[in-house]
Amino acid sequence: MAPATKKYKPYWCGFDLGQSRDQLTELEKEAESPNIWDDPQSAQKLMKKISGLKQEIEGWDTLAQRISDAKELAELGDESLRAELESEISQLEKLVGKRELDTLLSGEYDRGDALLSINAGAGGTDSQDWASMLERMYLRWAEQHGYQTEILDMTEGEEAGIKSVTIAVNGALSYGYLRAEKGVHRLVRLSPFDANSRRHTSFAQVEVLPQVDDDVDLEINSSDLKIETFRAAGAGGQNVQKNDTAVRITHLPSGIVASCQNERSQTQNRENAMRVLKARLLEAHQREMEKELAELRGEYQKAEWGSQIRSYVLHPYQMVKDHRTDYEEGNAQAVLDGRLDGFIEAYLRSQVGANV
């Protein structure tokens, strides 16, 4: 049996393992300082970086050892080991593919946490129901990948579904992956809210932002902020707040608004609203810089809200198609249950000119 390791060779150049080991050594020395916990917030960030690097390095080391072991097994030429070897090679192909995909996430915030917002478009109850379907889809995807999620803010629809929701998705690379989902998502189906069961088209906007650390250079003057408190909305019953715990923060110079109402504490809602506001201000700043560069190159085009990135068709046939990459899945229900990796991978590869 011939060794099956040649196809993995090109992937190793995509990740500087030696540099990561050196960085880990430096961070561990920094963590040994007797004064490290004088600033608990900085210490926690340092420990998070150390933990992330350790996990990444150990993952590569384990993969390299498994490939080496499989090569040695193949070189034995023992036909009785063929089934075991083929099973191991199949698993290694998946692991190498995942590692290769991770190396595509080289953006400044790709390796960090994400904030995901969903807003129902025009279309009333159908669009609000579609927004709730997308919320469930992303929560399922996050759960399947071991990410922690926290709903920071939600506005429910009058009859069904939601008008909007903001979710914090915490875990390594969550922003890098989820940024592939940013844009307008379109649903075509027989409406369950139409008495005549006619086909309806619904739209929802998905916004994906990186969670911003306090050490990011983003100056916000308190005089530029308008902070309002109000009573949290709800479906009724015991969950409706009797005090003004919900918080809305408006950045006056830009008009950008962030609100949070899902915590029972006004202080927690204010902190979460600031997290969202910082992320939106950072994204607006980056978008303006990209616009200026594109105009200098003569290639800037205004992105309109209505141009969908993906269509989910449930009638008269089933298909989900991404219009940026032409990647599609015939099992629409599986996609709505969180099977998004194919779409995400196709998008990431398209961004670096790789073949899908």
pLDDT-based confidence at 294, cuts 50/70/90? low
Range 42-69 average pLDDT:
83
Range 298-311 average pLDDT:
66
- Tell me the pLDDT of the chain averaged across its residues: 83
Same domain, 337 and 285: no
User: Could you tell me if residue 276 is inside a domain?
Assistant: yes
DSSP label at residue 110: T
pLDDT surpassing 50 at residue 91: yes
**Residue 147 phi, psi (nearest 5):** -85, 145
User: Could you tell me if residue 356 is inside a domain?
Assistant: no
Same domain, 67 and 21: yes
Q: What is the pLDDT of residue 96?
A: 82
Give the Cα separation of 139 and 337 in Å (integer). 9
Same domain, 186 and 70: no
Question: What's the total number of domains in the chain?
Answer: 3
Give the Cα separation of 117 and 140 in Å (integer). 15
**Residue 329 phi, psi (nearest 5):** -130, 135
CATH of the domain at 52: 1.20.58.410
Same domain, 176 and 233: no
H runs (alpha helix) in 104-230:
125-144, 174-178
Range 194-213 average pLDDT:
88
Same domain, 204 and 324: yes
Give the Cα separation of 289 and 354 in Å (integer). 26
CATH of the domain at 331: 3.30.70.1660
348 burial type by CB count under 10 A (0-12 exposed, 13-18 middle, 19+ buried): buried
Q: What is the pLDDT of residue 13?
A: 41
Q: Which of 103, 127, 149 is the last residue of a domain?
A: 103
Contacts of 61 (CB under 8 A, 6+ apart): none
Same domain, 22 and 72: yes
CATH of the domain at 239: 3.30.160.20
pLDDT surpassing 90 at residue 164: yes
Coil vs helix vs strand at 191: coil
User: Could you tell me if residue 68 is inside a domain?
Assistant: yes
Strand-pairing partners, residue 310, are 185, 322
pLDDT surpassing 50 at residue 76: yes
User: Could you tell me if residue 71 is inside a domain?
Assistant: yes
Which range, of 75-79, 201-205, 226-230, averages the lowest pLDDT?
75-79
User: Could you tell me if residue 25 is inside a domain?
Assistant: yes
User: Could you tell me if residue 63 is inside a domain?
Assistant: yes
CA distances, 301 to each of 60, 203, 291, 304, 308 (Å): 41, 22, 9, 9, 16
Q: What is the pLDDT of residue 305?
A: 55
Same domain, 328 and 253: no
* CA nearest to 335, candidates 348, 326, 344, 325: 344
User: Could you tell me if residue 96 is inside a domain?
Assistant: yes
Same domain, 204 and 320: yes
Contacts of 206 (CB under 8 A, 6+ apart): 116, 117, 118, 134, 181, 182, 183, 184, 185
For residue 70, the one-letter residue type is A
Same domain, 10 and 94: yes
State the residue range of the domain holding 30: 6-103
Q: What is the pLDDT of residue 133?
A: 97
Same domain, 344 and 274: no
Give the Cα separation of 272 and 39 in Å (integer). 21
Place of tokens 């809210």: 193
Instruction: Kindly report, residue by residue over 242-290, the tens digit of the pLDDT.
Output: 467 889 999 999 999 999 987 778 888 998 999 899 999 988 888 887 7
Same domain, 188 and 329: yes
Same domain, 178 and 251: no
